[in-house]
Amino acid sequence: MKKLIEVSNLNIAYGSAAGWTNVVQGVSFEIARGEAFGLVGESGCGKSTVAYRLLGYGTINSLVQTGEVLFDGTDLLKLDAAALTRLRGERIALVPQNPTTSLSPGMRVGAQIREMIATHKALPEGMTMERHIVELFALVGLPDVGHRYPHELSGGQQQRVTIAMAVACNPDLLVLDEPTTGLDVTTQRQIVQLLAGLRARIGMAMLYVTHDLALLAQIADRVGVMYAGQLVEVAPCEKLLSAPAHPYSRGLIASIPTMDGAAQPGRGLRGVLRRDQMSTGCKFEPRCDFATAACRTTPQALEPVAEARAVACMRWREAVAPHFPVPVKREEEKAAEAPARLLSVTDLALSYARPGPFDRLLGRTSPAVVRDIDLDLRAGEVLALVGESGSGKSTIARAISGRLPPRAGIISLHGAALAPALKDRSVEELRQIQYIFQNPDASLNPRRRIRSILARAIDHFGIAVDEKALETVLDNVGLHADYLDRFPDQLSGGERQRIAIARALLVNPKLLICDEILSALDVSVQARIVELLRSLKEKHAVAMLFISHDLAVVQEFANRVAVLYRGELMQLADTATLLSEPLHPYTEMLLEAAPGLRKDHYVSRPPSAPNSKAAPGVGCPLAGRCPRQIGSLCAETRPPVQETDNGFIRCHLTTGDLASGASPANRSDHSRQSRSVS
């Protein structure tokens, strides 16, 4: 195969007031015609910087020190602006990371595609512009949306538009910069499916940049793993995932939560990438389990180790050698006496805005976004609430905490009903329910030191503590006492989340509401926070309502899982039961869409009645999207709640029907690793 792109010895530095920082060092790889190459790494590893250089693009403060990027024999780094302009879009096209901000907001999407074709005079002969655009839309599975503005389309549709735009001039190379980040998991899978299909039809090469190895498994032929600006391993995709050689690759793969807890090829990563703590030798040395003194001083470069495979580690043989992984002991749930019921939620219905005086006058009511929620939580138990973005999971948490007075329904703690509004709850009730927020950057007042942030909680609730209390609680969450005198912006995201957990624990709560507390963190940091939560759960016997879009994380330590779709509970079951026998069609869809670490030829199952529309509060919210929909019944009648062994299912099909046709064929034949449901 002829090489389409050859990157050799690329070095890029970023300039700032403090001087130059090397962000990309000695990166070399090549992509053949029609090949899909994946570039993977944690945030800040320089993968996007490399990708944009393939379009001859760099930010003003970046400088290419050495290296060349040969595209079809011409060095892109030496081309002048006019020549680059001719190349971009026509031969090398970009699919951007965030379609919402990447489409021009004041221009109809059809005009944006037309502009691309007109600029490159790429209209096929004998075809009108309008027809060509409609065909492009059809190619990416969209109806003719040319007259719409970007904000009128959903995120998935916007990404399809940018893909249609990218392939409009039949480019030789498509650069994809995290094209599915921020989309719901089912949409993610559909986009990847679309890209794979396009590649088969058009035959273009791809550079796919992502932090999500599992997704890469579905589309890439070969993968390069980047760490701190260097390629540490290049290997065929299957080989990398089944037998990673570099310690970093191993750690990265091990950090991905697995669905079945099967043995991992290595341990998760410790620490975070710190550009200021870099050794002169191997960049990964500070975080590496196999590091020796020599590693600190000897720089490592990619060395071929096998057919089409290269690793930048002199000790990779030791790293791959079988060692005894410390199996994470899952303590079996003691089937002891059922603890007392802590929290119960009955018939909860919520809507965002409370009707104003204006609306009340006109008899207007805002629609309920959450309906018929029944939950209970026993002391010391972890209940996970899982759903796609916008399903109402955080809204439920807000209502329980008192920040959103419910429209209907009762929330009670220890059997006593809680006042709907925050201001009517007693100090004691407030203390017993503590809330941890999604975004650690915003949950600590940036103007106060950690000491003052923690002390405020104690003072307010008048809790008697000894003077070592703050040190102790920091120790509990795995932080040193020095942190007390720091400001929040001197901490990393994971450390800030630990402080937020410490603040909640400090007042001895009975219930901890964890609202997507992992989603803003890197994979390796997530794994360690989960570890912390698990140990805290055992030590403090605190109950948790754990809200997440990530089924894989949830199964690691939740006792029970509640699945939410568009404001309604679809299913509630023990974690193990839910994963082994999902039963409910929606739960099945979620589990199927979660990509495994192996190519699984995912094809989204078509809805059986795509034309029926789900009206909120009338029929089943899944109507129109459900692959097992019975017919119009689902859209017209509320599905009944059916009790199961350890929970319930809301569906028109009986549990027997569900079980008989349920199990997807490939469910049990390989270890299933999964990520994000949303």
When asked if residue 22 is in the footprint of other proteins (CB under 8 A), the reply is no
Segment holding 385, helix H or strand E: strand 382-386
Whose Cβ is closer to other proteins: residue 428's or residue 645's? 428
Q: How far is the CB of 478 from other proteins (least distance, A)?
A: 21
Whose Cβ is closer to other proteins: residue 187's or residue 443's? 443
Q: Which stretch binds other proteins (CB under 8 A): 238-246, 344-352, 399-407, 635-643?
A: 399-407
Whose Cβ is closer to other proteins: residue 281's or residue 461's? 461
Evaluate whether 662 touches 584 at the Cβ level (below 8 Å).
Answer: no
When asked if residue 94 is in the footprint of other proteins (CB under 8 A), the reply is yes
CA torsion, ordered 548, 554, 560, 561, to nearest 10 deg = 40
Whose Cβ is closer to other proteins: residue 53's or residue 625's? 53
* Strand 173-177 with 511-515, pairing: unpaired
When asked if residue 115 is in the footprint of other proteins (CB under 8 A), the reply is yes
When asked if residue 57 is in the footprint of other proteins (CB under 8 A), the reply is yes
Q: Which stretch binds other proteins (CB under 8 A): 105-113, 204-212, 462-470, 553-561?
A: 105-113
When asked if residue 400 is in the footprint of other proteins (CB under 8 A), the reply is no
Count of residues in contact with other proteins, rule CB under 8 A? 60
When asked if residue 152 is in the footprint of other proteins (CB under 8 A), the reply is yes
Whose Cβ is closer to other proteins: residue 274's or residue 354's? 354
When asked if residue 435 is in the footprint of other proteins (CB under 8 A), the reply is yes
Counting Cβ atoms within 10 Å, is residue 28 exposed (0-12), middle (13-18) or buried (19+)? middle
d(CA 394, CA 438): 10
Evaluate whether 23 touches 30 at the Cβ level (below 8 Å).
Answer: no
When asked if residue 60 is in the footprint of other proteins (CB under 8 A), the reply is yes
Which residue of 49, 351, 432, 443 would you call a contact of other proteins, by CB under 8 A? 443
Whose Cβ is closer to other proteins: residue 449's or residue 534's? 449
**Which residue reads 């195969």 in tokens?**
1
Q: Residues 466-505: x/- map of binding to other proteins (CB under 8 A)? A: ---------------------x-x-------------x--
d(CA 74, CA 54): 12
One-character DSSP codes across 21-82: EEEEEEEEEEEETT-EEEEE-STTSSHHHHHHHTTT---TTEEEEEEEEEETTEEGGG--HH
Whose Cβ is closer to other proteins: residue 244's or residue 509's? 509
When asked if residue 451 is in the footprint of other proteins (CB under 8 A), the reply is no
Cα–Cα nearest to 368, from 353, 357, 358 = 353
- φ, ψ (nearest 5 deg) of residue 486: -100, 165
When asked if residue 149 is in the footprint of other proteins (CB under 8 A), the reply is yes
Angle (nearest 5°) at CA 414 between 391 and 398: 25
Whose Cβ is closer to other proteins: residue 457's or residue 469's? 457
Which residue of 33, 211, 341, 448 would you call a contact of other proteins, by CB under 8 A? 448
Query: Within 13 Å of residue 212, how many CA atoms lie on the same side as its CB?
Result: 24
Which residue of 2, 16, 80, 105 would you call a contact of other proteins, by CB under 8 A? 105
Q: SS3 breakdown of the chain: % helix, strand, coil, rounded to 5?
A: 35, 20, 45
d(CA 124, CA 135): 12
d(CA 194, CA 286): 40
**Contacts with other proteins, residue ranges (CB under 8 A):** 55, 57, 60, 81, 85-90, 93-94, 96-98, 101-107, 115-116, 119-120, 149, 151-152, 162, 165, 401-403, 422-423, 425, 427, 430, 433-435, 437-439, 441-448, 456-457, 460-461, 487, 489, 503
